[in-house]
Chain A
Amino acid sequence: MANVPADLKYTKEHEWAKREGDRVRVGITHFAQEQLGDVVFVELPKAGHKVTSHKTFGVVESVKAVSDLYAPISGEVVEVNGALTKTPELVNRDPYGQGWMLIVKPASGGDWDQLLTAQQYEQFLAEGAH
């Protein structure tokens, strides 16, 4: 069964977004880390950097593959998960927790509503449209 927490929003590129007050926390889904296999390197922007929804903000590498990371929303990066530099395997072990990647201060609330709900994302996975 897909592990898709109900309280998060999702992209079709398999990122998740979680509202925390006026900030949004971002990571990749359980499905994404499972597809990648062992994550060995995560390249993230620095705090202060602007990200744009649907545009790449970084890269995640597993032993076998390189994958772009897409921003679920536009805004300014206010915090980066520095623990991933030394222990990128946190992305596999705890994708929705310690494996988080960015905290973003959204530019506007506009693109939040365009994200998939947990139900829509599960549907998307079930259709195999990945």
Chain B
Amino acid sequence: MDTPLKRTPLFEAHVAAGARIVPFGGWEMPVQYSGIVEEHRTVRADVGLFDVSHMGEFEVSGPQALAALQSLTTNDVAALEIGQVQYSLLCLPDGGIVDDLTLYRLDRERFMLTVNAANIDKDWTWVTEQSRALRGAVWRNVSAETALIAVQGPKAEALVGRLTKSNVTSIGYYRFASGRVAGAETIISRTGYTGEDGFELYLPAGDAPRVWRALLDNGMGDRVKPIGLGARDTLRLEMRYALYGNDIDETTNAVEAGLGWVVKTAKGPFIGRDAIEKVRVAGARRKLVGIEMADRAAARHGYPVVKDGGALGVVTSGSYGPSVDKSIALAYVETAHAAIGTELGVEIRGLARPACVVKTPFHPSRVKK
């Protein structure tokens, strides 16, 4: 089955900038512009722009919007203030993860969910079917009309601040404000996927090319650069941020993934609660851990984790980490071998190469707390 690949409103800008375009989750996306390592360093040292317009946005509103979200997601939505963002999960009844998402409280009875690009259709079906009984919750899929530009790096605040009258300094971590950025009506959200300070800007798709251009032009003095999905992956890996489809999916649960902190079983019933509670009580059979390789060979998705000739786990993400200058990975390993400092091996091209379970994040986070 061949469905045509989708393009974001910034596709032409990426091509014009000489980006290498690859298929990703049903989209044609820039994987790199100047080079993954250089782009990675730009975000850590200065500021980078990411087109993440492929991600999905759903709005849910009405007197029962809160009830719908409490039943669908694992985190406690009642604790979310207007202007605040929450990381959360959609789970199956057996605890498997349908998707991870960020949840925005736009108003008392109005919320926005940001979901992974490859899961938009699946999530849409899931949330609307599972909350069908709640007449007072109205869903709107606004993915196509919404562009998303992430501005990340130590100079992000200065750059975005120059293009808006909103006081961006006053927006706290996992908070947002509505305002105009380069003239476009924008949700300015202090969130990201890099471990650096920065913003994610939600704006009308039609305004995206102009705002992108304005950010590039106004950021020249900050050495701003467009950043591809390649560096997005190495940046998030160094932070141990989970990537759906790699580290978490419908066969993994929140506890073993280290995401128990977004599962609030005390808030009342929600889909997956009993199954997750069971894992919590019994203890996870395996855990997602950070691994550092002794040499620079990359431990990649699917490679076996071994010890004394036997398999005890599997790598879910792995790459050279430019800021740590080491080959690093995330892997599920049997709980008995998950302690920091455990020596094990990763089988790469038939050979077990030495590795060690290490503390995460691999690189210190510099998000604004």
Contact = CB atoms under 8 A, between A and B. Distances in A.
Interface string A35-69: 00110110100000000000000010111101000
Given A63-B37, A63-B320, A66-B300, A41 B31 contact: no
Given A37-B32, A41-B298, A43-B297, A63 B327 contact: no
B36 A64 contact: yes
Nearest to B296: A41
B74 interface: no
A43 B297 CA distance: 8
Contact of A61 (B35, B38, B298): B298
Nearest to B326: A40
A40 B234 contact: no
B179 interface: no
A106 interface: no
A88 B296 contact: yes
Interface residues on A, range: 10 to 19
A63 B234 contact: yes
Given A63-B37, A64-B36, A37 B230 contact: yes
Nearest to B20: A37
B298 A66 contact: yes
Nearest to A89: B37
A17 to B, nearest CB: 24
Interface string B279-314: 000000000000000011110100000000000000
Contacts of A43: 297
Interface string A84-117: 0000110010000000000000000000000000
Interface residues of B, number: 18
Interface string B318-335: 011010000100000000
B122 interface: no
A41 B36 contact: no
A40 B349 contact: no
Contacts, number: 43
A38 B298 CA distance: 13
B34 to A, nearest CB: 10
B329 to A, nearest CB: 13
Specify which of A37, A43, A64, A88 lies most central, judged by the most chain B CB atoms within 10 Å of its CB: A64
B107 to A, nearest CB: 42
A74 to B, nearest CB: 22
A40 B296 contact: yes
Given A59-B349, A64-B31, A38 B297 contact: no
B36 A38 contact: yes
A61 B297 contact: yes
Contact of B327 (A40, A59, A66, A92): A40
A130 B230 CA distance: 22
A61 B353 CA distance: 15
A40 B327 CA distance: 9
Nearest to A68: B349
B230 A64 contact: yes
Contacts of A59: 349
A63 B297 CA distance: 10
Contacts of A61: 296-298, 320
Given A59-B349, A88-B296, A40 B35 contact: no
Nearest to B31: A64
B226 to A, nearest CB: 16
Sorted nearest first, the 5 A-B pairs with minimum C-beta distance are A40-B320, A41-B296, A38-B37, A63-B36, A41-B297
Interface of A: 37-38, 40-41, 43, 59, 61-64, 66, 88-89, 92
17 contacts: A37-B32, A38-B35, A38-B36, A38-B320, A40-B298, A40-B320, A40-B327, A41-B297, A61-B296, A61-B320, A63-B36, A63-B37, A64-B36, A64-B230, A64-B319, A89-B37, A92-B35
Given A63-B36, A64-B31, A66-B298, 6 more contacts: A40-B298, A43-B297, A59-B349, A61-B298, A62-B36, A63-B234
